[in-house]
Amino acid sequence: MATTGVREYQNFIGGEWVDAASGETFESTSPADGETIGIFPKSGADDVDRAVTAAATAYEEWRLVPAPKRGELLFRFAQLLVEAKDELTELMTHEMGKVWAEAGGDVQEAIDMSYYMGGEGRRLFGQTTPSELRDKFQMSVRMPIGVIGVITPWNFPIAIPSWKIAPALVSGNTVVFKPARDTPALGQRFVELLDEAGVPKGVVNIVHGGGGAVGDRLVKHPDVPVITLTGSRETGVEVMRNAADGLKHIHLELGGKNAIIVMDDAELDLALDGILWSAFGTSGQRCTAASRVIVHQSRYDELAGKIVQRAESLRLGVGWDEETDVGPVINQAALDKIHSYVEIGQGEGAELLTGGEIASDGDLGKGFYYRPTVFGGVKPDMRIAQEEIFGPVLSLISVEDEAEAIRVSNGIRYGLSSSIFTRDVNRAFRAMRDLEAGITYINAGTIGAEVHLPFGGTKDTGNGHREAGQAALDVFTEWKSVYVDYSGTLQRAQIDNTDAATP
């Protein structure tokens, strides 16, 4: 495709728009139709180093700006996102491929998060506690940490940067941001709007490029004490290993293999809606997508028939056409990976009920489209039921009872989202207790998180941190305990506390 007239983008370092030191570039192209979205600097270690220096310099002033003022800046940013919502939504349908409604939801999530974290500027609560000694005061306060390395995936190109950058900024940190190579234009617009909102020079910097060059340098840079990464399990392991020598704080949000349980007493049509939305929304490319349905044997045939019928009625196409139900997957490598898993599933003895093929008829041939795919007769230990495929592929697993359903749902390495459809309140509460996941939905699919509750997973989905809600602040702040002795004498804790009536 010709690139004449295509916009050329730059890195944003220390408040200046600059090319990569090497002068090299790469293109971002649309997964929907191959159109060129823009040309971006292919950055390297030099560019990261300059951005970190700018962020470290800016930190010395930014950390002293009162938190409510930092929050007000996020309110302004949120307002700019509101004004740019349609433009960003449209760009997302082109650059990432999401369908219109979902792209709008992605932007809305960033708006919600920016308002929410803006409010944290007037909270950022610590604790005060009584002292065991007289005339002594004590409290804990949240302190910023420094330069935060933000590394994001392509599947939520506006929302995920907001989950990281908004809490980082309100807490008083500065940021070097590396967006995914598949969605750099959206990362760039995010930073342009922060700049427009009035973020001081050097507080937010963007460096475009690949994980191996830009991401890796960020992870290993001695002046970057915190790395927050959302990506695959493999990348998470590599990042953690590479950051070990620097004893960095590593925040990881990784993969999922989420299941929806449908019990014998479930309202089937409601479950069906939840399954279709969770499995084929964003073409199955959500970390919280449902890729397994665990269904009571008494409802299996009925549910399988309905899922297949509905999956076959979904319209594939470009995201900017509001009639489209399912957009493209992100790139050729994703298409190849998804298709290879269909072959693996058939090889394992699962029954292909529908889909299982690349869709290339008419204009679909210009992009990366895969037919919504459903496997029946899947056994819990098959690879298609264990590994993250990250595409529109759903496995149906039949179980005998509730205990087996919970066991199968838990029987994977990941622990992000989970769901059960049942009308029995006791069963719902047992599931809430027993499902090993960071998120559990009752009578809803596996997607639908809101920004004011913690978001993240157990087991291999992460390393114990959470995004969103107040829990996110734990990633971007250090606790400091402060003791103020106003007695005018030396009082030794644990030794001079003779007031206590020791039992």
The residues annotated as belonging to the active site are 253, 287
The span from the CA of 388 to the CA of 334, in Å, is: 12
Kindly identify the residues of this chain, within the stretch 298-337, that bind ligand NAD according to CB under 6 A. Answer: none
* Choice between 163 and 300, CB closer to ligand NAD: 163
Does 253 help bind ligand NAD (rule: CB under 6 A)? yes
Does 216 help bind ligand NAD (rule: CB under 6 A)? yes
Rg of the chain on CA atoms, in Å: 25
Show the beta-strand stretches assigned E in 242-329: 249-253, 258-262, 290-296
State in angstroms the smallest separation of the CB of 463 from ligand NAD.
11
Three-class DSSP category at 265: coil
Q: Which stretch binds ligand NAD (CB under 6 A): 131-139, 175-183, 196-204, 469-477?
A: 175-183
The DSSP line for 94-129 is: HHT---HHHHHHHHHHHHHHHHHHHHHTT----EEE
Q: Which stretch binds ligand NAD (CB under 6 A): 64-72, 123-131, 178-186, 303-311?
A: 178-186
State in angstroms the smallest separation of the CB of 374 from ligand NAD.
20
| Contact residue for ligand NAD among 461, 472, 475, 476 (CB under 6 A) | 461
Nearest Cα residue to 445 out of 426, 420, 414, 427: 420
Does 232 help bind ligand NAD (rule: CB under 6 A)? yes
User: Which helix (H) or strand (E) covers residue 359, if one does?
Assistant: strand 358-359
Does 231 help bind ligand NAD (rule: CB under 6 A)? yes
State in angstroms the smallest separation of the CB of 455 from ligand NAD.
7
State in angstroms the smallest separation of the CB of 467 from ligand NAD.
7
Kindly identify the residues of this chain, within the stretch 385-424, that bind ligand NAD according to CB under 6 A. Answer: 388, 390, 416
Does 354 help bind ligand NAD (rule: CB under 6 A)? no
Query: Which phi-psi region, left, alpha or beta, contains residue 476 (left: φ > 0; alpha: ψ -120 to 50)?
Result: alpha
**144 pairs with which residues across the strands?**
477
Does 105 help bind ligand NAD (rule: CB under 6 A)? no
* 486 CB-contact burial (10 Å; exposed 0-12 / middle 13-18 / buried 19+): exposed
| Contact residue for ligand NAD among 68, 126, 210, 411 (CB under 6 A) | 210
Three-class DSSP category at 397: strand
The span from the CA of 364 to the CA of 319, in Å, is: 12
Amino acid, res. 413: R
The size of the interface with ligand NAD (CB under 6 A), counted in residues, is 32
Binding site for ligand NAD (CB under 6 A): 151-156, 178, 180-181, 210-212, 215-216, 219, 229-232, 235, 238-239, 253-256, 287, 388, 390, 416, 457, 461
